[in-house]
Chains A and B, each alone.
Chain A
Amino acid sequence: MVQRSLQLRRYMTASFFRLAGIPIRGTIKKSLRGISVLEGPQKYRLEGWKRATSRFRRNPLSTTGLVIVIGLVLMGLLADYIAPYPMDAKGRVDFINKLLPPSLEHPFGTDEAGRDVLSRIMFGARIDISSAVTVQLLVTFVGVVLGMVAGYVGGKTNVIIMRTADVFITIPPLVLALAATTAFTPDITTAILAVTIAWWPWYARLVQSVVLSVKEEQFIEASRAIGKSPLSIVFGDIFPNIVSVVTVKFTLDIGFVILFMASLSFLGLGVQPPTPAWGTMISEGKSYLPERWWMSAFPGIFILLAVIGFSLLGDGLRDAFDVQLEE
């Protein structure tokens, strides 16, 4: 059973990559397909990838989005090396230098504890982006699996799953997160779980509807005629057809989740001091507005940047996938 799920996960990641045409490493591929890797396939997979990326690149907006996202991610990853005052994000305080406006030494100024805002923003990227991505991954996994099962099996299972989804949709995520973090430990994990619970139904619904329509296609009939088991049809034939839709939604939603998690940290839930998160920083800086604007403004700008970046990226992906199909 464990082996099957491992195989399944590997297959899913592999088919995702294969779908995007990214040449994946020979070892993984071999264990799944049992074919020796040849010259031919590599060349054509690269070609497919090249066409998709060229189309993507042709759209200046989506390239901008990609650049922004990559920039933010790199910023977060390399924070330790590029932040001017890394210790400011890890608990150092320097009250002598508190509330300084933007200057050469502190491009974004310092906050009320004398910590360099720029460095804190860089480390904050880690929290904000990674928590949003984690939420999305969890939500996607749960939603996709349930959606596919509901869509393909149909009947009572479908009804049960969809009605459950309906129930969860009615729960406002913010309220649930508030309740959860009040009832349990007010840290980031709780917040992530709370958002996941409120968010998964959207994906389940989306996937279920796509599966319902794909299910009726002739190529599914053909697979049944060949003798494929329902499981293999769902993951082999139907899954590639939902990947594009799910990926697009995934990317577009990250922006929203970032915003949401920022709201949570703004309210003081989720991240605890001294760990920097953009929302917390805005909250801490709000009592100093409007004279000492830099403490809230810059984190806010970065939230905006992140949301815009992911949205443009998602839009671009959607166009890229669409065109591939339109061809």
Chain B
Amino acid sequence: MLRVLDLKKYFPMTGGLLKRKIGEVKAVDGVSFDVMKSDTLALVGESGSGKTTVGKMLVRILKPTSGSIFFANEDIAKHEGDSLKNYRRMAQMVFQDPTSSLNPRRKILDIVIDPLNVHKIGLKSERYEMVTRMMDRVELPRDFLYRYPHSLSGGQKQRVGIARAVIMNPALVVLDEPTASLDVSVQANIVSLLKEIQKEYGLTYVFISHNLSLVRNIADWVTVMYLGRAMEMAPTEQLFTKPMHPYTIALLSVVPTVSEEEEKLLPERVRLEGEIPSSVRIPKGCRFASRCPKAHERCSSDEPPLVDLGGHFVRCHQIEEGA
């Protein structure tokens, strides 16, 4: 249903008195993936990986520098005006920080009814009904509609965010670390809600997160990103049981576990040295080489291509060579 091809986003850096362009931040440097209808694709990575930027491009908060996003056979990467507005009805986003993604000066009712008004969905008189039904669905009491965001808890605010995103019944929902700022118990609550809603409305999710255990619970496919590129892509089960890329293995090894059984299922702790390089000066060759425990000479000179090993994609010289 969604096909992304070689998506790139470069942000120009200006400097000097004349504000000339002195460089580029290559936030996303060529990412491709497919998402099947009603599936959940997880974009995993740390800061600088570009996962949030990809998410924003999918809902066109940002316009891709190059590349295509095919949605129902149309390349929406280049849409503008009315066709873009139509697309927006189909693709919505749930934001990371519920506090800043809700306008503190507007009532919950206004916030949730917004999309309906913008796209003129239903008759004016019906819209209030739709909002109340949505509130029931996200398990928020109806009188919250007349409150302001500041009197809601983090979890409740995030539910409002979900209500706002889903009320138009979009086909695609991008979730940008929706539970990152929430407590563990609230997180569990929100994630179950998301799963239920997905099943009920037949939604397709792109779930952005850095929390691998969470991803394991909700995603069908995982794409691991580093510095703007995909390093490994595989069905969830495979990624967790047979991780191949050194970065994936390192990430899995530092997942905090709460039991010995869990620990045994994960790879041995890998100590990653060094800092994440900046997206302005992308290192030559494999982007991960500077921190990779298995790096060779070749890794610092040639960037490995993404290789398809039977539905499991890896970008690593070592694997190619059958290491």
List residues of chain A with CB within 8 A of the CB of B147: 44
Q: How far does the Cβ of B11 sit from chain A's closest Cβ, in whole Å?
A: 15
Count CB-based A-B contacts (< 8 Å). 86
Q: Which residues of B contact A19 (CB under 8 A)?
A: 105
Contact of B101 with A218 in the complex, beta carbons under 8 Å: yes
Q: Looking at the complex, which one of A218, A237, A325 makes contact with B150 (CB distance below 8 Å)?
A: A325
Stretch at the interface among A34-42, A189-197, A248-256: A34-42
> Do the beta carbons of B150 and A227 come within 8 Å of each other?
no
CB distance from B69 to the nearest CB of A (A): 15
A75 to B102, CA, bound (A): 44
In the complex the two chains form, is B164's CB within 8 Å of A222's CB?
A: yes
Interface presence of B23 (CB below 8 A) = no
A240-B103, A243-B105 as given contacts; A225 in contact with B114, CB under 8 Å: no
Separation in Å of the B141 CB from the closest CB of chain A?
11
Of all chain A residues, the one with the shortest Cβ separation from B84 is A227
Report whether B105 and A240 are in contact in the complex, using a CB–CB cutoff of 8 Å.
yes
The DSSP consensus for interface residues of chain A is: helix
* Residue B185 lies at the interface, judged by CB distance under 8 Å to chain A: no
| A6-52 interface (Cβ within 8 A of B) | 19, 33-36, 40-41, 44-45, 48
> Are the CB atoms of A35 and B128 closer together than 8 Å?
yes
Contact A217 B146, CB 8 Å, known A224-B61, A225-B61 = no
The answer on a CB contact under 8 Å between B95 and A218 is yes
Q: Residue-by-residue, is A299-327 near B (CB-CB < 8 Å gives 1, otherwise 0)?
A: 00000000000000000000000001101
Contact with A along B120-135 (1 / 0, CB 8 A): 0000110110000000
Q: Which residue of A lies closest to B98 (CB)?
A: A218
Q: Write out the residue numbers on chain B whose beta carbons fall within 8 Å of the beta carbon of A228.
A: 114, 118
| Interface presence of B305 (CB below 8 A) | no
Question: A44 contacts which chain B residues (CB < 8 A)?
Answer: 143, 146-147
Which of B85-93, B214-222, B278-286 is the interface stretch?
Answer: B85-93
- Total number of A residues with any Cβ neighbor in B under 8 Å: 31
| Cβ B85 vs Cβ A35 within 8 A | no
Q: Is A141 interfacial (CB-CB < 8 Å)?
A: no
B61 CB contacts on chain A under 8 angstroms: 221, 224-225
Q: Looking across the interface, which residue of chain A has its beta carbon closest to that of B151?
A: A327
Instruction: Determine if B128 and A227 form an interchain contact, defined as CB atoms under 8 angstroms apart.
Output: no
The binding surface of chain B is classed by DSSP as: helix
Closest B residue by C-beta to A227: B88
B269 within 8 A of A: no
Identify which of residues 121-167 in chain B touch chain A, using a CB-to-CB cut-off of 8 Å: 124-125, 127-128, 142-143, 145-148, 150-151, 161, 164
A219 touches B103 (CB 8 A): yes
A42 to B84, CA, bound (A): 38
A226-B125 contact, Cβ under 8 Å, with A218-B97, A219-B101: no
Task: Output the least CB separation between B172 and chain A (Å).
Answer: 12
Known contacts being A218-B101, A224-B61, is A40 close to B125, with CB within 8 Å? no
Q: Please, which residues of chain B bring their CB within 8 A of the CB of A247?
A: none
Residue B259 lies at the interface, judged by CB distance under 8 Å to chain A = no
Contact (Cβ within 8 A) A41 B146: yes
4 closest residue pairs by CB, A with B:
A34-B124, A44-B146, A240-B105, A227-B88
Give A residues with C-beta under 8 Å from B: 19, 33-36, 40-41, 44-45, 48, 217-219, 221-228, 232, 236-237, 240-241, 243-244, 324-325, 327
Known pairs A19-B105, A41-B109, A222-B95. 19 more at Cβ < 8 A? A35-B127, A40-B143, A40-B145, A40-B146, A44-B146, A218-B95, A221-B61, A222-B101, A222-B164, A225-B59, A225-B93, A226-B118, A227-B85, A227-B89, A227-B115, A232-B118, A237-B106, A327-B150, A327-B151
Q: Which residues of B contact A (CB under 8 A)?
A: 56, 59-61, 84-85, 88-89, 92-93, 95-97, 100-106, 109, 114-115, 118-119, 124-125, 127-128, 142-143, 145-148, 150-151, 161, 164
